[in-house]
């Protein structure tokens, strides 16, 4: 897999930004040294091709029995489409909630109870949206064998949520990979790498320390 090249392209195209001096504040209130906008990947052909190739390879390795690829609305749908094309597998997509008109479908596309579905999303933070899609597909009596994603922050809440939903997750890229590559390329000092490494393990504790440090300045 071309993970090193993908990470470099994400940084070069400002899809991923890291700033320890001015952390980003998420809607949840968490301060974070990383900001991502993975929706931009669909506008860069070379990058989206590398991602699709990587996800297809990942799914062949981790979910060789897959019979259907599913995209999680909305950001997971284009990536799922390109992966399904590469694997020559049927495609479905799953809305966040059922339509409020027509047949009221939440799942679009054709699946059967004999299918084995892999769902794809672009970004995993706590896993709430993709696990909602997993639940919707399983409610139809269809086997979701797992989830693949372009990127995961590797947050403890995600680990707990996927375990509680009895669902496996295989990401193409992770926050840990991202900062490790940056450290190896001397983009971060040892001290900066240490601070970055502690964030995804305990983001609320990290936020508290950063706020206290800023208040003391």
| Spatial distance between the Cα atoms of 184 and 141, rounded to a whole number of angstroms | 46
Helices (H), 91-189: 128-139, 156-164, 175-184
> Is 128 labelled as part of a ligand binding site?
yes
How confident is the model over 140-185, as pLDDT tens digits?
999 999 999 999 999 999 999 999 999 999 999 999 999 999 999 9
132 part of a folded domain = yes
**pLDDT score for 102:** 65
> Is 126 labelled as part of a ligand binding site?
yes
How confident is the model over 181-215, as pLDDT tens digits?
999 999 889 999 999 999 999 999 999 999 998 88
How confident is the model over 81-105, as pLDDT tens digits?
999 999 999 999 999 998 777 667 9
> Is 101 labelled as part of a ligand binding site?
yes
211 part of a folded domain = no
On the question of pLDDT at 52 being above 70, the answer is: yes
E strand or H helix at 48:
helix 45-62
**pLDDT score for 214:** 83
Residue 23 near residue 33, CB atoms below 8 Å: yes
> Is 30 labelled as part of a ligand binding site?
no
165 part of a folded domain = yes
Strand partners, 34: 18
> Is 125 labelled as part of a ligand binding site?
yes
214 part of a folded domain = no
CATH classification of the domain holding 69:
3.40.50.2020
> Is 124 labelled as part of a ligand binding site?
yes
Find the domain containing 50 and state its range: 3-206
Residue 217's pLDDT band, with cuts at 50, 70 and 90, is confident
**pLDDT score for 93:** 98
Strand partners, 93: 71, 108
Q: What is the DSSP letter of 26?
A: P
Average pLDDT over residues 4-33: 92
Pairing of strands 68-72, 116-124: parallel
38 part of a folded domain = yes
pTM: 0.94
Q: What is the number of structural domains in the chain?
A: 1
Instruction: Share the mean pLDDT of the chain.
Output: 94
> Is 99 labelled as part of a ligand binding site?
yes
Q: Which residues neighbour 136 within 8 Å (Cβ) at sequence distance 6 or greater?
A: 94, 106, 107
> Is 127 labelled as part of a ligand binding site?
yes
213 part of a folded domain = no
Q: What is the DSSP letter of 17?
A: E
| Residue 201, token pair as written in the block | 């393990």
């Amino acid at each position: 897999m071309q993970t090193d090249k993908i990470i470099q392209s994400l940084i070069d195209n400002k899809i991923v930004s890291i700033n320890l001096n001015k952390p980003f504040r998420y809607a949840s209130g968490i301060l974070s040294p990383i900001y991502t906008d993975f929706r931009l990947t669909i506008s860069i052909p070379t990058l989206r091709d590398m991602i699709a190739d990587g996800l297809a390879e990942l799914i062949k390795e981790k979910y060789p029995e897959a019979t259907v690829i599913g995209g999680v609305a909305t950001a997971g749908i284009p990536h799922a489409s390109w992966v399904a094309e590469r694997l020559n597998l049927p495609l479905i997509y799953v809305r966040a909630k059922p339509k409020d008109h027509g047949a009221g479908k939440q799942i679009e596309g054709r699946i059967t109870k004999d299918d084995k579905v892999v769902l794809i999303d672009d970004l995993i933070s706590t896993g709430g949206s993709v696990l909602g899609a997993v639940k919707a597909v399983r409610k139809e009596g269809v086997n979701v064998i797992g989830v693949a994603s372009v990127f995961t922050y590797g947050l403890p809440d995600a680990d707990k949520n996927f375990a509680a939903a009895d669902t496996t997750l295989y990401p193409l890229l992770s926050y840990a990979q991202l900062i490790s590559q940056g450290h190896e390329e001397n983009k971060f000092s040892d001290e900066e790498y240490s601070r970055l490494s502690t964030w995804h393990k305990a983001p609320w504790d990290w936020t508290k320390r950063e706020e206290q440090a800023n208040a003391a300045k």
